[in-house]
A and B are shown apart, each in its own frame.
Chain A
Amino acid sequence: MSTLETRPNIPEPDDFYQALIEAHRGLSDEQSMALNARLVLLLSNHIGDPQVLLEALRLAREDARA
């Protein structure tokens, strides 16, 4: 069991960010939502650790309804 990494961990952040936006290029909102869903599932399985996943869900939801 480990904790969620929130310190910088992506070597080339700008490259990653660009790739993320690129992945959605030309997609409708609905298609993008589908892509995001697949991405979340793929990455979640890669992480696997329930403690990390629950912590990420909690952080992501923080102030979501503000």
Chain B
Amino acid sequence: MHRRGVRRNPQLAESVPVNLRYFRPLCLRRLRSLSRGIDPVTDKDLFAYRKAPELAAAAHGHYPVIVVGAGPVGLTAALDLAQRGIPFMLVDEDQRLSAGSRAICFAKRTLEILDRLGCGEQAVNKGVVWNKGKVFLGEDLLYSFDLLPEPGHKRPAFINLQQYYLEAFMIERLRSLGADLRWRNKVVEVKPAADSVAVAIDTPDGRYRARCQYLIVADGARSPVRHLLGLQSRGQVFRDRFLIADVFMEADFPIERWFWFDPPFHPGRSVLLHRQADNVWRIDFQLGWDADPEIEKQPAQVTPRIRAMLGPERPFELVWVSVYTFQCRRMDRFRHGRVLFAGDAAHQVSPFGARGANSGMQDADNLVWKLGLVLSGGAPDALLESYERERVPAADENILYSTRSTDFITPKSTVSRAFRDATLWLARNHAFARRLVNSGRLSTPSAYLDSPLNTVDGDAFAGSLAPGAPALDAPLLADGKSVWLIDRLGGGFTGVYFAGAEPVSPAAATSLSSLAGLPVPVSPLIVAARGVTPGPDACGDVEGLVQQRLDATPGAFYLFRPDQHLAARWRRLDAPAVGAALERATDNASASGASA
């Protein structure tokens, strides 16, 4: 089969979409099949089950890392491990893609992570880019918003893409990297010990045992592994139910997020409409707590609701239907010794705001470089504390925003409802009240401003970038080609040196070349000011946006972490200061007794 040939060359996966099969619009039949998590065209490849080598005594069953769960979060962790060359296996009890579209809004920061992992191009090519939204009350437009894409960023604010596509792209990429993917492998026992974690895994061919140094648990909101360990995720359930339907239709509605309060076709409740790839539209209907999920899922019940919304003229087909109750909760700790929880297993939010998959993938982005350093001896085990120190506040931030949105959409008491309705009533005529209307505050990346890994600024910098925050993107010119700053960061530590208009001084050049010799190597990235022809090892700040967004002055230096977050910055490059910041960012400062 020629399609195997496409995948054979891993280098190809870096630059071009591997899975060309998904890049034509798909027919309804195949979409329906995908929505059950099954794609007859690709599943044989994607989910090939094979007997675990341990069962044939062909493997010793000892892995640096085992990842549990092949959703977007587990797959992100797996891809990052694979790219770092850390041996691991990924186990999943199932053998299918996400059932239904589920997570659909992927934020800019997530796309940047996917770019680093070699899947961003596919996601953006297949996905639907959007920036605008409208909020309606009854038949009237209350307000519209535009996420106002600022030019000079590689990726848009959001794309909409069904979760099954994203998973298919990530699994394809993992296969191209030769990753050990084990389908129908269910973790049934977890025994953490001081030096490793022992697991027992059930497969169609029987049970086997394996050990790992670290276990990444990304097995979703119900997290069987969390239950096996007797751990809990605490929070609140919202007393409401939502019908979620994927509808296939050809419609020329603008590519916008449309949210209705009290629409004529669904009085007294809310509705959300959003476009996805391949003419599939996501429609959410608020049903109320008393709705019976089993009845509401029936096509005979769903179809009239959608018909009332779309009008009698428009043909449509149901692709997938589900009924959800929303929860906001999290585990007290994400790290339990050598067991690390990520994504919905660790924290769960309601979907208004697109904070579930986006934050989970950022968990994995935060965790894996740290694991890599710890496993290679480049950092002490204590570095993993920072995973929790950084991602627990991020989870709390997401829970706060999504709880506020859900409280507005589903008021919990009579008086809460009265204030909500008063806000909507006033919003018709008064701008101030429109600012109070909350149909979801959309995901923004978390900045780890209080992280112990940050080096506090000694010099003054203007702008929104700060130690702990993710990098801001900007266009660059490298070897006569247009590239992006964000693509030049990450993987390892990167030191961005802003040379300004002058050639790099011999002293600075010496400092820069010393960076590669640090205990954890730092790759230099030299940026020449706009209008200056960059030297052979430098990139050009073609539009002056590096200077602007980083508030760069000639000689300024920025240390970015492997997850593209800023660790430290200075107005002048000082190699010992960089070394100290690097020790701090890898938690080597206390281990070496430097703080004593």
Q: Decide yes or no whether A41 CB sits under 8 A from chain B.
A: yes
Report which of B414, B421, B426 forms a contact with A42, defined as CB distance below 8 A.
B426
Q: Decide yes or no whether A45 CB sits under 8 A from chain B.
A: yes
> A37 touching B432 by the CB < 8 A rule?
no
Residues in B whose Cβ lies below 8 Å from that of A38 = 422, 425-426
A45 and B430 alpha carbons, distance in the complex (Å): 11
Q: Which of B429-443 contact A (CB under 8 A)?
A: 430, 432-433, 436
The main secondary structure of chain B at its interface with chain A is helix
Q: Decide yes or no whether B516 CB sits under 8 A from chain A.
A: no
> B421 touching A37 by the CB < 8 A rule?
yes
A63 and B432 alpha carbons, distance in the complex (Å): 31
Q: How large is the interface on A (under 10, 10 to 19, 20 to 34, 35 or more residues)?
A: under 10
> B433 touching A41 by the CB < 8 A rule?
yes
Q: 1/0 per position for A27-49, CB-CB distance to B under 8 A? A: 00000011011101110010000
A40 and B418 alpha carbons, distance in the complex (Å): 11
Q: Which of A2-53 contact B (CB under 8 A)?
A: 33-34, 36-38, 40-42, 45
Minimum CB–CB distance from A26 to chain B (whole Å) comes to 18
> A33 touching B415 by the CB < 8 A rule?
yes
Residues in B whose Cβ lies below 8 Å from that of A37 = 415, 418-419, 421-422
A33 and B421 alpha carbons, distance in the complex (Å): 11
Residues in A whose Cβ lies below 8 Å from that of B433 = 41, 45
Residues in A whose Cβ lies below 8 Å from that of B418 = 33-34, 36-37
Centre residue among B415, B422, B430 by max chain A CB count within 10 A = B422
Residues in A whose Cβ lies below 8 Å from that of B415 = 33, 37
Q: Decide yes or no whether B386 CB sits under 8 A from chain A.
A: no
A38 and B428 alpha carbons, distance in the complex (Å): 12
A38 and B425 alpha carbons, distance in the complex (Å): 8
Residues in B whose Cβ lies below 8 Å from that of A41 = 419, 422-423, 426, 433, 436
A34 and B430 alpha carbons, distance in the complex (Å): 16
A33 and B425 alpha carbons, distance in the complex (Å): 13
Report which of A34, A40, A45 forms a contact with B421, defined as CB distance below 8 A.
A34
Residues in A whose Cβ lies below 8 Å from that of B425 = 34, 38
A8 and B414 alpha carbons, distance in the complex (Å): 32
Of all chain B residues, the one with the shortest Cβ separation from A39 is B422
Q: 1/0 per position for B50-79, CB-CB distance to A under 8 A? A: 000000000000000000000000000000
Minimum CB–CB distance from B103 to chain A (whole Å) comes to 34
Q: Which of B399-432 contact A (CB under 8 A)?
A: 414-415, 418-419, 421-423, 425-426, 430, 432
A41 and B415 alpha carbons, distance in the complex (Å): 13
Of all chain B residues, the one with the shortest Cβ separation from A44 is B432
A45 and B423 alpha carbons, distance in the complex (Å): 11
CB-CB nearest 5 A-B residue pairs: A37-B422, A45-B432, A38-B422, A37-B418, A33-B418
Interface residues of B (CB under 8 A from A): 414-415, 418-419, 421-423, 425-426, 430, 432-433, 436
Interface residues of A (CB under 8 A from B): 33-34, 36-38, 40-42, 45
| A–B pairs, 17, beta carbons within 8 Å | A33-B415, A33-B418, A34-B418, A34-B421, A34-B422, A37-B415, A37-B418, A37-B419, A37-B421, A37-B422, A38-B425, A38-B426, A40-B422, A41-B422, A41-B433, A45-B432, A45-B433
